[in-house]
Structure 1
């Protein structure tokens, strides 16, 4: 019998609190593909970006603690959140390369009987999907290909930067979208931030950044967009509701979490994937598939 991959699932705060559609679609897709995701217990928020800005050692320690708990379980961490992924990867990279800082952090973890050694890796869910399951195995599960659907990908800042730390190649998402049968729509400002992080301090700037992304995507011919970050998904989904008032523009561009897109291509029902919870209705893609 083939042993299917097992992971420690770190959900962070945002997904379970605000995006049950992302969580539900990820769990269902993972189950269909034989990935065993075990929820981590007794773990804290990753602290991104606020804690990092005001207490760097505290931020590093909290993430090292999460990594150390996963080490005790013996499985790589996977997370569906770019912010959590970025924090965990940053701390993992820091402690692997800075022995003095590792000792400082481990002296704090010792109080709980924990230690960071770097024996497991923090990974984004889509990277584990791509690397451990693989495109060919995913392709076998595609029963309702998204032929004729143009999808723009918003990768998100913390997934790609800094590249020597995240070690994430954008082609991973390109291939994961392509395997569904959809066409990846290239657009000029794919690297640009969506503006989610600046929303609490400069709302007009956040709205403008979201508008720039949506405008670039639609002008390039995208019918839909996909994200792998809850904050980015919320920003691009939510801001469409206010752009008519701010700019007199309507985009009506459905923003789907990647597992929702993959789930549709695998023949899963819209309700199972939580599509009714997306703010910009996803009916166009459902009509396309039923037509």
Structure 2
């Protein structure tokens, strides 16, 4: 049974009951009272909103419920919400649109439909396979507009929308085409598009910590499990700030066996990528 049929069975007032009827004074008074109560009871802009999965059936008499519904603006004026469906809730926050994803494996077509509802007609969505153990959201953004900006926003994700898994924002006046890349759980044997910690449960080195070990020790552990090794060097930032610069595809001939392993990653393809901290006196190549 689909959602529309469930709503139809549970609602006390159906669309066909209202067909051809003018709005009554009683209905207008009910709506005005709901709006007044919302304004009086809402203490702050960022209040907890229920997940769209728990649709407000009490509004069936004044709003048509569909798979993706536009929320009555007067009920959510202070929250900034402009659209909600089972997969995504969208806020307007000044010059930004904020997206709260509530489906771990959403249908790209449904998300694109939601984006069009708020005027983002040239944005497409691509789901990329990531480790099923991946807890932090994976969001990528390709764009043609040099002034467009996107950032993750998770501090109030679960507070703003119940069941929120991923939250991000993009400038509302984006021009030209753009594509969001959202992580989805990879299928068994599927190569990840984004690396995962090789020591996570279910991964190639589950429970094995290589961090802090010498390269020689780490390589022995990896090869004992019939896995291959690839190397990346994590160079400190030139200005001394936090973070590193990754040099990828480094040949083994440039790796000192005594250097230490920073992290070990996997793409689920039989290769363990060892991130190595260059030892004292090591110099980065040009450009690093």
Question: Aligning the two structures, in what range does the TM-score lie when normalised by the shorter sequence?
Answer: under 0.3
Query: TM-score, length-normalised on structure 1?
Result: 0.23
Higher helix proportion (structure 1 or 2): 1
Query: Higher Cα Rg: structure 1 or 2?
Result: 2
Higher strand proportion (structure 1 or 2): 2
Q: Which has the higher relative contact order, 1 or 2, with Cα contacts under 8 A spaced 6 or more apart?
A: 1
